[in-house]
């Protein structure tokens, strides 16, 4: 049965491995994936632990639906205390690792301690070994995975690995499986690097077992038919997330030249259609019908011959608009380089564009950059700085510490120009015209975030009756809702609702693109509930799935508070309030966020959550969610 996957506690300091059952009680309270991970992290990590010390705890998991007929049930979650923010560290990736982990008999790994020498974990059909990885240290993420397959003589092994950035403790180093799939945010690669854990390799042939197989197949057929019939899915099948760039840039919702503009002009050459010149077909994750990423080979120019998969919308921003680049080859090569070196593409784009604005303003000079001209549009400088950051060379060593760390090492006036929340850099979107999206990045549990609470549907001008149908279920809501995305009213509930659906989908282990994110017709709480019943044999109503999500989200909040979070951290940098947008259509131009209205939004957001005016969960909230005993 799907409930029979195990939990393994691995102590890298001692070599001890303890394999345990996961109780049904924990399943019903947290389901799995991100939900159970926050329970494990909260209960295993000592408060105040240095994120790069042996005392940090790293949780790696598959959702409870991973590797089953549920649509796109491929997501792997990684959680630890973040070396980038000092708060909750959490990242998620697709591919084939999570299903393989489940076929090998495990749903959750809790990794503690640190090895004295490089190692990797080898997990296969209920067994776990700690193996020497000295020969892998220094290799990139791609070569590491290939070397493990060769060493263990099995091309079907699925590995997640860190690159040189993780080894060098770059605070936004990521973890990569295959070529494209990356657990990018909050520096989980640095956590593994600090533990001398180069990779986790898995291979399994164990049957998961489906509670009601015939009903599962029939039900999933209907869900998949609905998913692929949506216009969103059909666009994603052709262009992947790159299609978003043209829409948002033409409107004026793109952060450009760090934060100085909100639209990149004359940028047709970096829009999604350009991939046709290099594409070699598309690929998808386990169980996915959309296949949203391109396999590509750069056909010409100085990067000719480079193979990879992608790029995502985020990389169009990171190596495009943010640094003022209009060369698609640079975007494709930048995508390849960060995957290979093992770094978060969002942080790379934001940190380099910040440095470029500092260079433009004379706050840093060629003396600081060792002669590198960090000018907007200097694509070669951006690529070189990416390499320097991964290897902690020159000025790259400063940027490798992320926003919080770099601010401490630069002139005082540099802080004003860094676009981040809680130490996590923003996506390349510009939220000044969209208060709901601004609220989402300000309050996100891991920092500035577009994958934890973004009510992207707010951009669609959907009629109020449809909005009420979506946002009034499974918890009734009779407050204000409006299809005007400039409005501040009703948006706190939309943000909270999206938090709950994104937490739920991270618990079950399904891709966010197969849920209510960019299309109102995608699966939501009803489907999660039905999948859990048919596949895992857990009967939770849609409302109970919401309660699981709410419980886990409040535990993330408690974790952050325990690590020093205050209300002041749920805020935006001053530029959001003080500088108006300069470009775009009328709906986006000449816009900024109102401080008084934004403060009221946060007050209402806290009220919806059952938190006090400082953002602390109230006692009655903890009691209702049955987590009061976890709070000291």
pLDDT at 1: 61
Q: What percent of the chain lies above the pLDDT cut of 70?
A: 100
CATH class of 435-630: mainly alpha
Count how many residues are written for the chain. 632
pLDDT at 632: 59
Could you tell me which CATH number the domain at 233-425 has?
1.10.569.10
Domain with CATH 1.10.599.10 in the chain: 435-630
Angle at 412 between CA 399 and CA 187, to 5 degrees: 30
Q: pLDDT at residue 305 above 90?
A: yes
Could you tell me which CATH number the domain at 2-203 has?
3.60.9.10
Q: What is the 3-state secondary structure (H, E, C) of 603-632?
A: HHHHHHHCECCCCCECHHHHHHCCCHHHCC
pTM: 0.98
CB hemisphere CA count around 51 (13 angstroms):
24
Domain with CATH 1.10.569.10 in the chain: 233-425
pLDDT at 528: 98
Q: pLDDT at residue 622 above 90?
A: yes
* Helix (H) / strand (E) containing 78: strand 76-81
Q: What is the 3-state secondary structure (H, E, C) of 159-206?
A: EEECCHHHHCCCCCECEEECCCEEECHHHHHHHHHHCCEEEEEEECCC
Average pLDDT over residues 382-400: 98
Q: Note the pLDDT tens digit of each residue in 129-180.
A: 999 999 999 999 999 999 999 999 999 999 999 999 999 999 999 999 999 9
Average pLDDT over residues 234-256: 95
What's the rounded Cα separation, in Å, for the pair 129 and 585?
57
What's the rounded Cα separation, in Å, for the pair 552 and 34?
8
What's the rounded Cα separation, in Å, for the pair 342 and 137?
13
Q: pLDDT at residue 615 above 80?
A: yes
pLDDT at 3: 83
Q: Note the pLDDT tens digit of each residue in 322-348.
A: 999 999 999 999 999 999 999 999 999
Domain with CATH 3.60.9.10 in the chain: 2-203
């Amino acid at each position: 049965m799907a409930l029979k996957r195990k939990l393994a506690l691995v102590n890298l300091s001692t070599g001890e491995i303890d394999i345990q059952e996961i109780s049904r009680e924990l399943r019903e309270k947290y389901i799995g994936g991100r939900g159970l991970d926050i329970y494990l992290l909260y209960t295993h990590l000592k408060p105040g632990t240095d994120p790069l010390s042996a005392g940090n705890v790293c949780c790696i998991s598959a959702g409870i639906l991973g590797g089953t007929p549920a649509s796109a049930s491929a997501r792997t979650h990684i959680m630890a205390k973040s070396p980038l923010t000092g708060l909750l560290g959490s990242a998620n990736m697709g591919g084939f690792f999570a299903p393989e982990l489940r076929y090998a008999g495990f749903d959750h790994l809790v990794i503690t301690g640190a090895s004295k020498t490089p190692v990797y974990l080898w997990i296969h059909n209920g067994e776990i070994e700690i193996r020497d990885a000295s020969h892998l240290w220094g290799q990139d993420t791609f070569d590491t995975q290939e070397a493990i397959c060769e060493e263990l003589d099995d091309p079907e092994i699925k590995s997640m690995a860190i690159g040189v950035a993780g080894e060098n403790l770059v605070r936004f180093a990521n973890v990569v499986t295959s070529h494209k799939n990356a657990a990018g945010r909050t520096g989980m690669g640095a956590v593994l690097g600090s533990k001398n854990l180069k990779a986790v390799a898995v291979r399994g042939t164990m049957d998961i077992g489906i509670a009601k197989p015939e009903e599962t197949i029939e039900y999933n057929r209907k869900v998949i038919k609905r998913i692929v019939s949506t216009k969103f899915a059909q666009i994603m099948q052709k262009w992947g997330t790159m299609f978003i760039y043209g829409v948002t840039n033409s409107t004026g919702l793109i952060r450009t030249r760090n934060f100085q503009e909100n639209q990149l002009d004359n940028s047709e050459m970096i829009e999604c259609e350009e991939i046709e010149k290099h594409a070699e077909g598309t690929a998808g994750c386990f169980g996915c019908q959309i296949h949203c990423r391109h396999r590509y080979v750069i056909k010409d120019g100085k990067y000719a011959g480079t193979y990879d998969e992608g790029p995502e919308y985020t990389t169009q921003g990171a190596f495009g608009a943010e640094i003022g680049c209009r060369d698609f080859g640079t975007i494709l090569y930048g995508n390849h380089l960060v995957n290979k070196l093992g770094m978060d593409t969002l942080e790379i784009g934001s940190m380099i564009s910040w440095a470029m604005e500092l260079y433009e303003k004379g706050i840093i000079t060629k003396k600081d950059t060792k002669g590198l001209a960090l000018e907007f549009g200097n694509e070669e400088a951006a690529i070189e700085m990416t390499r320097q950051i991964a290897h902690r060379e020159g000025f790259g060593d400063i940027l490798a510490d992320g926003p919080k760390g770099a601010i401490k090492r630069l002139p005082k006036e540099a802080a004003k120009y860094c676009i981040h929340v809680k130490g996590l850099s923003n996506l390349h979107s510009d939220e000044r015209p969209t208060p709901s999206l601004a609220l989402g990045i300000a309050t996100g549990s891991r920092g500035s975030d577009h994958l934890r609470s973004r009510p992207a549907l707010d951009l669609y001008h959907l009629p109020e009756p449809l909005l009420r149908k979506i946002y009034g279920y499974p918890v009734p809501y009779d407050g204000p809702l409006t299809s005007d995305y400039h409005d501040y009213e009703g948006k706190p509930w939309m943000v909270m609702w999206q938090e709950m659906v994104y937490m739920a989908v991270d618990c079950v282990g399904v891709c966010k693109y197969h849920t209510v994110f960019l299309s109102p017709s995608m699966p939501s709480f009803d489907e999660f509930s039905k999948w859990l019943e048919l596949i895992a044999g857990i009967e939770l109503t849609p409302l109970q799935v919401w309660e699981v999500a709410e419980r886990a989200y409040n535990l993330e909040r408690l974790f952050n508070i325990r690590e020093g979070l205050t209300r002041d951290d749920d805020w935006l940098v001053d530029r959001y309030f003080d500088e108006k947008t300069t470009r775009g259509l009328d709906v986006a131009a000449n816009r900024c966020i109102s401080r008084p209205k934004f403060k009221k939004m946060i007050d209402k957001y806290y009220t919806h959550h059952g938190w006090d005016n400082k953002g602390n969960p109230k006692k009655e909230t903890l009691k209702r969610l049955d987590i009061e005993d976890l709070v000291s």
